[in-house]
Structure 1
């Protein structure tokens, strides 16, 4: 599967733990131990100066690899999502190959 970008809704606990993800109208629980990392974006190509205290979301982008579980389905769906700050927008950017036939059908035969 390829890389793309599509909006999702993320539900978090008051402490910030990822709880549920809603994508294309379907709610998924998030499996244990989500993987988080940061990717540096080439901010210098578009920003000449970053004012002090304004760097959140400009220099580094927070990435997550999530195992999602849908009620009644045995197979987990693995997605990479990105968190855009400070706007708190979340987007799916990659669906991993471990997608089973049920999810492939839902995704249009991808």
Structure 2
């Protein structure tokens, strides 16, 4: 399945490879490796844990700050750029693909 602007996949689990400095290098999604082609953008949001009523096991760490990355990726050197918005799930440490847009 290829995701298009008209049908974005929300909260799809993906694998993200990082550089030694902690910047995304590539994303594995939809059976392909998508290489980061432009400088990624990072930001944090705060989780409204009091609204989600999630129980947090003792010792898990910071579950309030949620890390996000916006990366422009390609799956081949001549394919068009796509923009992936990624979010780290603080409870599981996995990365989720929130949206895909063209360019």
TM-score after normalising by structure 1: 0.70
Is the CA contact (8 Å cut-off) linking 2:11 and 2:97 kept in structure 1? yes
Question: Highest CA radius of gyration, 1 or 2?
Answer: 1
Q: Is the 8 A contact 2:87 2:97 kept in 1?
A: yes
May I ask how many residue pairs the two structures share in their alignment?
96
- 1:88 aligns with one of 62, 86, 93: 93
Measured against aligned partners, the alpha-carbon deviations of 1:39-80 in whole angstroms (never above 9, x if no partner) come to: 1111123168996x7541x21211111100121434101111
Higher relative contact order (CA 8 A, sep 6+): 2
Q: Which runs of 5+ in 2 are unaligned?
A: 1-5
Runs of 4+ in 1 over 4 A off after TM superposition: 47-51
Equivalent residues in 2 for 1:17-36, closer than 5 Å: 17-36=23-42
Superposed CA RMSD in Å reads 2.6
- The gaps in structure 1 that reach 5 residues or longer are 100-110
Cα 1:86–1:12 change in 2 (3 A) is farther
Residue aligning to 1:12: 18
